[in-house]
Chains A and B, each alone.
Chain A
């Protein structure tokens, strides 16, 4: 089957870097996504990486992909209180997305 797994919770101090990790099982995934969900809201696409890339940087966000280990990470530099949310990784092993269970990021002032 297709599984995407994430740690459930991460707490950081404002100004520190956050690293959210994700593992997936489907080796045929072509794109891997990071979505952000604030309380009571829908999913906001943050960034994505194509499977033939190792790294993608987008302002404060850095995505690292280790295709051999099927490991994906999202690094948020200079984490702000507005970054507090649930972060979902998702892969595209099927026509639709397969989501991880989400990592709740708590940013302490």
Chain B
């Protein structure tokens, strides 16, 4: 019954070691989002895909990249994780991405950087 699935739920990586987080959806939604949420803070949008069209937020560091090989899957790549990248990473989807279109969130991946 899961609609937005994130794997793994917990990820531990070493400082500077590349890591990839995965998101998949069964809703067939056009738009997929990646948010970063640090402890006790609001989720912050990193980027989103409208279909295959990638949209980066202006303040998203270059260290963060994303891939969307097909409608169902979207990946977040962190090329050289720093201690400040430890956070919960949330994937969300929406049908059209239009203003007011409801976003559905996955359970998140908690990233620890040692």
Contacts and interface: CB of A to CB of B under 8 A. Distances in A.
Interface in A37-83: 40-45, 48, 50
Nearest to B6: A42
B110 A31 contact: no
Interface of B: 4, 6, 33, 40-43, 45, 48, 55, 90, 92, 97-100, 102-108, 110
A49 B110 CA distance: 30
B90 A31 contact: no
Nearest to A89: B42
A2 B110 CA distance: 27
Contacts of B102: 31, 33, 45, 48
Name A's interface SS.
Answer: loop
Interface of A: 4, 30-31, 33, 35, 40-45, 48, 50, 88, 92-97, 99-102
A54 to B, nearest CB: 17
Nearest to B45: A96
Those 9 A-B pairs whose CB atoms lie nearest each other, nearest first:
A99-B42, A31-B100, A43-B105, A30-B100, A42-B107, A42-B108, A42-B105, A96-B45, A92-B100
Given A31-B100, A95-B97, A44 B105 contact: yes
Contacts of A30: 99-100
